[in-house]
Amino acid sequence: MVLINFTLNLKDGQMPKWIWDKFNNIEYITIPAWVKQGINIAFTSHLGGLSSYPYQSLNLGLHVGDQKEKVIKNRQQILQLFSSDLNHMVSCEQVHSANVALVDQSLAGRGARDLASALPDCDALICSTPGLVLATFYADCFPIFFFDPVKRTVAVAHSGWKGTMGRIAGFALEKMQLAGGSYPENVEVLIGPGIESCCFNIQAELAVRVQQEFPSFTDIIYSEHDRYFWDLKNTIRQTLLQSGCLPANISTCDLCTSCHPELFFSYRRESGTTGRMGAFIGLKY
């Protein structure tokens, strides 16, 4: 695979904030400015791993039917990006909630090798402990990366349509402030790849619910030939703005997981039988 020449869309004179990088055979999205400040961050493609069809090849999900041994080896490859290992990784159950968990050294290794030990009943993780790596997994839902350079705190949120409806992005910011004193205006955010509105058609009843839930939001639902489409990414972005994030601090990755089979797994495109990409973030020692 050739390194993909996609970067962040430029707005208001900003420099690109995310790039594709490569380690061994693994190509991943990262943010150089965060890396320079001591942050480990990666969002993977589906390429570069050991899994076989229909999970080829860098499947990182233990819950999709893939061979556990291959998934664990795939995860080990990713942790090598950060000179780390599975003993320092923490993941959560991912139940499509808006619940947020705080992570410290006592939780190291939870969910890294098995589902049973993953942090229960939550979809977002916050950490200010150097050396730990937060990990969540995706096949159309949106990864949201958070970094507060003032308080040295990071977070990641798994935002599918239910989490977006539940405003998980806002709850993550609120928890960062309550737990560690992070002011929303200091927090930098990347909304990573997910299913874009071009591919996320929904039932009319859900479209009505979305508009009722977000009455002040603009351009999040559109219709075409009696079909309704939901712009999850724009909904997340407006949730972040409503919660106090500055527009200049929010970056987006405009790659649709459903439109790019050469790059990403997609639950909707593959009718549910597919692997998972990974979102990883942590503070370096």
Question: Which domains, ranges and CATH numbers included, belong to the chain?
Answer: 19-195+245-283 (3.60.140.10)
Beta-bridge mates of residue 41: 281
- Nearest Cα neighbor of 71 from 55, 82, 85, 83 is 55
Contact predicate 244/184, CB 8 Å = yes
Which residues make Cβ contacts (< 8 Å) with residue 252, sequence separation at least 6? 8, 9, 190, 191, 233, 237
What is the percent of the chain with per-residue pLDDT over 70, rounded to a whole number? 94
Which residues make Cβ contacts (< 8 Å) with residue 178, sequence separation at least 6? none
Q: What is the pTM of this model?
A: 0.95
Q: Is the dihedral of CA 228, 233, 234, 237 positive or negative?
A: positive
The pLDDT assigned to 53 comes to: 96
Q: Is 145 helix (H, G, I), strand (E, B) or coil?
A: strand
What the block records as the tokens of 27 is: 């190509």
Under the banding of pLDDT at 50, 70 and 90, the label for residue 2 is very low
Gyration radius from the chain CA atoms: 18
Assign 3-state DSSP to the chain and report helix, strand, coil percentages, each to 5. Answer: 25, 25, 50
Contact predicate 38/27, CB 8 Å = no
Contact predicate 135/278, CB 8 Å = yes
What the block records as the tokens of 65 is: 């039917």
CA distance 272 to 281: 26
The torsion of the CA quartet 121, 125, 130, 135, rounded to 10 degrees, works out to: 80
Tens-digit pLDDT profile for residues 196-247: 999 999 999 999 999 999 999 999 999 998 999 999 999 999 999 999 999 9
The pLDDT assigned to 1 comes to: 34
Tens-digit pLDDT profile for residues 80-136: 999 999 999 999 999 999 999 999 999 999 999 999 999 999 999 999 999 999 999
CA distance 239 to 262: 30
